[in-house]
Structure 1
Amino acid sequence: MKFRIFILFFALAVGFSYGQEVTSKADNYFYSYAYDDAIIEYNKQMQQGKFITNNQLLNLADSYFQTGEYNKASKLYLDINKNDTIMSAHRFNKMLQSLAKISEQERVKAFLKSKSNSLESELVQNAEFNYLLFDKKETESAGFFIFTLTGNSEFSDFSPAFHDDKLLFSSGRKNKSKRIYGPSGESYLDIYEADIEKGGNIGNVSVYKGVPDSPFHKSTPFYSSTTGGTYYVLSNAKGKNLAFDEKGKNALAIGMAYEGGLFRFLLKDLSTSFYYPFYDDENERLYFAANFEDSYGGTDLYYVVTNNGQVMSEPINMGPRINTPGNEIAPFVYDNSLFFSSDVFYGVGGMDVYRSNIQPDNTFSIPVNLGEGINSKYDEFGFVIRPGEGHELMGYFSSNRPGGKGNDDIYGFKVAAKPGPRTLIFKGKVVKPQYDEPIAGVEVKVLDNNGGLLSQMFTKEDGTYQVEIPYTDIVSMEMIKDGYSTFRETYNPKELEELQKAPLQVQLASLSDIVKEKEGKKVLNNVNNFFFETGKSNVNIAMTAELDKVVDAIKKFPELRISIETHTDSKGGSSSNKRISEKRSQAIKAYLLSNGVSSENITKAVGYGEEKIINNCTNGVYCLDFLHKQNLRTLFVIDNYDAISQ
């Protein structure tokens, strides 16, 4: 079933339209989910020349969208978006979805690019990354073996969850203890259990007795062996009657039923519905879906911190890396990865299953679409997985794809490894060497083995960066900012594996940190003075440590252009001093070139001999040896300092 019908299961028509702008017969049809009738009435309203508001035009666009008339829907969305700022983030997602549905994928990408400055940066990155995966066919090799369960009914069966050797799930199948829920034509939802048979099929389906009975909705269960309780969604009720807020709305709460029979509400608000609870035993977090005011679009994923089953925090939105202008539902954590479903515009179809890796700092990687191995142009949600027989993994999910028994059916799957394309994450912080001061605006590039650009970004105000790419064996990372040193490193598969375990902090030195004024020139200040043996011009071992500092400086600042200047004292003849000085400069140049410095980095290598004595120890003047030694020096002059220090 479409997501609109899925949510419809959880809301009473009597209260769902309250607070909406109802000014016509067409509006009444729209807010009662009678989209075909709403289309007829809205068009009749326009043909009769009656005024129609932008809100009503958006309702008409939504009606076309819900009935599969994506050409008409996209035209209306685009017109309204062009002429008015009334378009919400959720409608923006529908606009791009409708364009994608009519094979206007390139137009979607162009629209996304043109609006990138006004959209969440995470949304743009997520979209570009998933488009890249689709272009590279990375999502087509998931290796799923999918099978239909014989235990499905002609009604809606969805939201599977493991309970030891049994499977819990939600269903709208007829039940003597349940009344018919008007909007769906099926019974109020109930929770069922079934035996998981060898091979993954299910049998012996019966009503689950682990939660208190109710004539209203009970659904989307999750059982935790750690807490010994079942988390599930239920209608707010007072005894045998539904409970409504002051606007006449009935919503859904999340409750927990312990194995001993104790029940308590965990999340309850008469005006807000909560969906799809999942309890993470390791982190003691209760994940769920809801639509609060801080939503990024439709239904977002949230979590609360718990302690011994008690909710200890306000609901925390999982942020724009996970949540989008679309709807996000059905969170499930397995092997340090978050699986969930979303109908965001860059997916395969309606609701698709995504996987996001949970990082060591509890942030999330870019969610990747599991691909057409499990997703289709219809809705897939309620994904769960665990180890199966042998070395394989097995699990279940819900879908309304053709060929099932009911509106929704539960499907089983087997897969050799944790599903989803492999990715690489490069994240960390760029700082100055002293005091770890962050550097903003550093360009971070990730390159392939041939130097081709795979991805790029700029560090944030706090110096942090995060870049993600599809997996590749050999990757280089480059960090550049004018006036700072350059970081370049190439990683092999083993090094890449280590890099995924912890953030990488990179230090970039400022050019001013390695430069000083000397003799009226800008010279490298990280090089200590060194001395050739008397009368010789060969580079000795004692000198290499200082010359290696020059190599390192040019490696960090590859745009440097330097002149090598050597000087002697006034001892000996002027011509011989000039000659030995020139040989020394050439020897230094040769050493630098042999150790990776490009000839483009060396403007000239000149020997001045005794032409530029810096004290009074000229020819014929008596000086102590330490004064003569002051004139024995080598300078590495930066010729383009003004150009590169901006």
Structure 2
Amino acid sequence: MKLKLFISFFILTATVSLAQEFASKGDQYFYSYAYEDAIREYHKQMAEGKLMSNHQLLNLADSYFKTRQYDKAAKLYVDINKNDTIMSNHRFNKMLQSLAKTSEKERVKAFLRSKGDKLANELIENAEFNYQLLESPAEAAAGFFIFTVNANSEHADFSPSFYKDKVLFSSSRKSKAKKVYGPSGESYLDIYVADRDKSDNLNNVSLFKGIPNSPFHKSTPYYVANAGSIYYVLSNSDGKNLVFDDKGKNALAIGMAYDNGYFRFLLKDLSTSFYYPFYDEKSERLYFSANFEDSYGGTDIYYVVTNNGQVMSQPINLGPRINTPGNEIAPYVYDNSLYFSSDVFYGLGGMDVYRSNILSDDTFSIPVNLGAGINTKYDEFGFIIEESEHGGLAGYFSSNRPGGKGGDDIYGFKVGEKPGPRTLVFRGKVVKPQYDVPIADVDVSLVDAEGKVLTQSVTDKNGDYHMEIPYTDRVSLKIAKKAYASFEETYNPKSLAEIQKAPLLVRLEAIEDVLREREGKTVLDINDFYFASGRSEITPEIGLALDEVVKIVTMFPEIRLSIETHTDSRGGRYSNKRISEKRSEAIKKYLLEHGVADSNITKVVGYGEEKILNNCTDGVYCLDFLHRQNLRTLFVVENYEELTQ
């Protein structure tokens, strides 16, 4: 993996100054990346009866892992995980990787579930989603045509980058201008340029001279055509000498060189290395990889905001949707998608290439593995892509898969459409209509055309939800919570495309907000309405009030109502009873004709003047407004407790 190639070079320069801090010879080899030697020395230490600390045992497990002895690594990681709490999430990822590489996927899933409460929810979702995608037979046909380029050498060649009509890349091939370390046998990294022919092959390699010369590392370039500038990684140095921090460490910085020869450092810290710069002109963000204290595991992807080439913000971590307990490197943005590589445990091998869509609210969709069409059980990284002049898309990536010329080689590819499986993202917020107050713990589900639940979630304390599924051309979104209205919408291909563009705001009415207490009963809270004297016809004004009842029943389809109509005491007792019954029946008929189910209406009653609210009974003189108080219709909720408990 090229991350290791980077750091091994500059660590070797500091080994002597740090040697006194190592507890054993095995440690010294381990921190010098001489893993086979470290294994031999640790075994020798155990054979001599010398106690191995848990840290040394983890170093031994890491050494097994680095030398592809995954069965031994897995056993040691698992034993340490049982007996000690010092294992970091990064090493937990290595344990799961080791198990996955020894065909123990179900055991991996079991370990993942056992530690689910200590890992980011996004990591669990990412794992489950990618397991589902990669187990699908459709993933075998990813549509990639892959070829080896002529520019490769017997040394490490990696990190291709488009440069005008050519391609830049990094290499450890020997050069008169670069020193070679005996322990590694590799030269300091340098940047080379190759011609790109009509078939996208790379030929005529030469040392790139468009940036300031240095006897130390220069690598992973990214060229910005509009600005005439190149972002790249280089060693911290002051001319002909490396610069070290107070612990003897030499780190890697990110610099920028212009076509006119001007150069400046952009990201530089003597104790922190920066890798794989990528500049997104649209957002003016400089993406890169680094291992800061807020890392979710090993190396994470970050960005800084820039303005005319000046860094304007602190490094911002892309968060647990992208970064994992593993290593994430080589960011590249194309067509509103972020491509990057990760060695997270649920991939196909070491470093795999993933794609995550950049959403409108500046968040990311679940990263999807590009599949066996490009990824292998080895390392794939440094993925770049663009539109091809010959139709479709074309690009390059690096891999250490067998069959190449060197340790890492550059491969070209062609693909007919945007690579990676299509997915659907459903995200949004659920709130109350009044002041948009968030509603937590709302059930959200996606259902296919046959009624099968595809995935489920609940809203968080902010009322937010986020779900993602493999693409399907018809799906229903259902949102519900006890004592609240429900929401359901079915989407077809056209509406699915629309809902991907922005989060969906859903307002759910609480049943408490449409009810009130009246006459000792729980009733619908609607405006009072009045029939003409002696009449039972539904006028337009009454229809408006009854439409509110229809709306409430539609929101709460399980509600059961009784309709109670009352008159005042004017007129005969029998005729009042009869007209109120007719009015209740007319109301029921209107509701049924406007979509209310018969099951929603449990009882229809006309009380006439049986339940006068004031003293305006037979023979008592009252003003009209007092009589009017007795003219009323109540929609009584018969199953209130059932709806709210």
TM-score, normalized by length of structure 2?
0.94
TM superposition shift of 1:106: 2.1
CA contact 1:9–1:183 (8 Å) conserved in 2: no
CA contact 2:19–2:28 (8 Å) conserved in 1: no
Instruction: Give, in whole Å, the separation in 2 of the partners of 1:362 and 1:20.
Output: 47
Instruction: Give, in whole Å, the separation in 2 of the partners of 1:156 and 1:301.
Output: 23
TM superposition shift of 1:466: 2.0
Counterpart of 2:191 in structure 1: which amino acid? Answer: I
Instruction: Give, in whole Å, the separation in 2 of the partners of 1:414 and 1:599.
Output: 61
CA contact 1:535–1:580 (8 Å) conserved in 2: yes
Q: Does 1:616 align with 2:615?
A: yes
Instruction: Give, in whole Å, the separation in 1 of the partners of 2:21 and 2:602.
Output: 74
Between stretches 71-80 and 134-143, larger displacement belongs to 134-143
Between stretches 446-455 and 284-293, larger displacement belongs to 446-455
TM superposition shift of 1:579: 4.9
* Counterpart secondary structure, 1:546: helix
Alignment of 1:247-396 (within 5 A): 247-396=247-396
TM superposition shift of 1:531: 4.1
CA contact 1:8–1:184 (8 Å) conserved in 2: no
TM superposition shift of 1:386: 0.8
CA contact 1:486–1:555 (8 Å) conserved in 2: no
Which residue of 2 is the match for residue 465 of structure 1? 465
Instruction: Give, in whole Å, the separation in 2 of the partners of 1:41 and 1:134.
Output: 40
Which residue of 2 is the match for residue 209 of structure 1? 209
Counterpart of 1:261 in structure 2: which amino acid? Answer: G
Which residue of 2 is the match for residue 172 of structure 1? 172
Deviations along 1:404-447, one digit per CA (max 9) or x if unpaired, are 11111111111122212222222222222222222233222222
Alignment of 1:117-196 (within 5 A): 117-137=117-137, 139-196=139-196
Which residue of 1 is the match for residue 552 of structure 2? 553
Deviations along 1:268-297, one digit per CA (max 9) or x if unpaired, are 111111110111112211111111111111
TM superposition shift of 1:9: 4.9
TM superposition shift of 1:130: 1.6
Which residue of 2 is the match for residue 245 of structure 1? 245
TM superposition shift of 1:45: 3.0
Q: Does 1:512 align with 2:512?
A: yes
CA contact 2:352–2:379 (8 Å) conserved in 1: yes
Deviations along 1:215-270, one digit per CA (max 9) or x if unpaired, are 22111011111221111111122222222222111111111111111111111111
Counterpart of 2:608 in structure 1: which amino acid? Answer: G
Which residue of 1 is the match for residue 477 of structure 2? 477
- 1:116/1:578 Cα in 2 relative to 1: closer, same or farther (>3 Å)? farther
Instruction: Give, in whole Å, the separation in 1 of the partners of 2:545 and 2:112.
Output: 52
Instruction: Give, in whole Å, the separation in 1 of the partners of 2:552 and 2:350.
Output: 54
Instruction: Give, in whole Å, the separation in 1 of the partners of 2:107 and 2:543.
Output: 59
CA contact 1:458–1:465 (8 Å) conserved in 2: yes
Deviations along 1:322-369, one digit per CA (max 9) or x if unpaired, are 111100100111111111111111111110111111122222222111
Counterpart of 1:410 in structure 2: which amino acid? Answer: I
TM superposition shift of 1:540: 5.4
Counterpart of 2:501 in structure 1: which amino acid? Answer: K
TM superposition shift of 1:385: 0.7
Counterpart of 2:355 in structure 1: which amino acid? Answer: R
Between stretches 176-185 and 212-221, larger displacement belongs to 176-185
- 1:528/1:47 Cα in 2 relative to 1: closer, same or farther (>3 Å)? same
Q: Does 1:563 align with 2:556?
A: no
* Counterpart secondary structure, 1:271: coil
- 1:79/1:603 Cα in 2 relative to 1: closer, same or farther (>3 Å)? farther
- 1:39/1:392 Cα in 2 relative to 1: closer, same or farther (>3 Å)? same
* Counterpart secondary structure, 1:153: coil
Which residue of 2 is the match for residue 403 of structure 1? 403
- 1:308/1:571 Cα in 2 relative to 1: closer, same or farther (>3 Å)? same
CA contact 2:8–2:32 (8 Å) conserved in 1: no
* Counterpart secondary structure, 1:242: coil
Deviations along 1:579-635, one digit per CA (max 9) or x if unpaired, are 554454445445444544445544433333332222334344455555444433221
Which residue of 2 is the match for residue 637 of structure 1? 636
Between stretches 610-619 and 209-218, larger displacement belongs to 610-619
Which residue of 1 is the match for residue 218 of structure 2? 218
Which residue of 2 is the match for residue 69 of structure 1? 69
CA contact 1:370–1:420 (8 Å) conserved in 2: yes
CA contact 1:236–1:251 (8 Å) conserved in 2: yes
- 1:544/1:137 Cα in 2 relative to 1: closer, same or farther (>3 Å)? farther
- 1:51/1:149 Cα in 2 relative to 1: closer, same or farther (>3 Å)? same
Instruction: Give, in whole Å, the separation in 2 of the partners of 1:575 and 1:103.
Output: 85
Which residue of 2 is the match for residue 92 of structure 1? 92
Between stretches 580-589 and 456-465, larger displacement belongs to 580-589
Q: Which runs of 5+ in 1 are unaligned?
A: none
CA contact 2:161–2:222 (8 Å) conserved in 1: yes
- 1:543/1:136 Cα in 2 relative to 1: closer, same or farther (>3 Å)? farther
* Counterpart secondary structure, 1:303: strand
TM-score, normalized by length of structure 1?
0.94
* Counterpart secondary structure, 1:238: coil
Which residue of 1 is the match for residue 115 of structure 2? 115
> What RMSD, in angstroms, separates the aligned Cα atoms of the two structures?
2.4
* Counterpart secondary structure, 2:326: coil
* Counterpart secondary structure, 1:187: coil
Aligned identity (percent) is 67
- 1:513/1:369 Cα in 2 relative to 1: closer, same or farther (>3 Å)? same
Which residue of 2 is the match for residue 25 of structure 1? 25
CA contact 2:8–2:33 (8 Å) conserved in 1: no
Which residue of 1 is the match for residue 439 of structure 2? 439
Instruction: Give, in whole Å, the separation in 1 of the partners of 2:596 and 2:45.
Output: 76
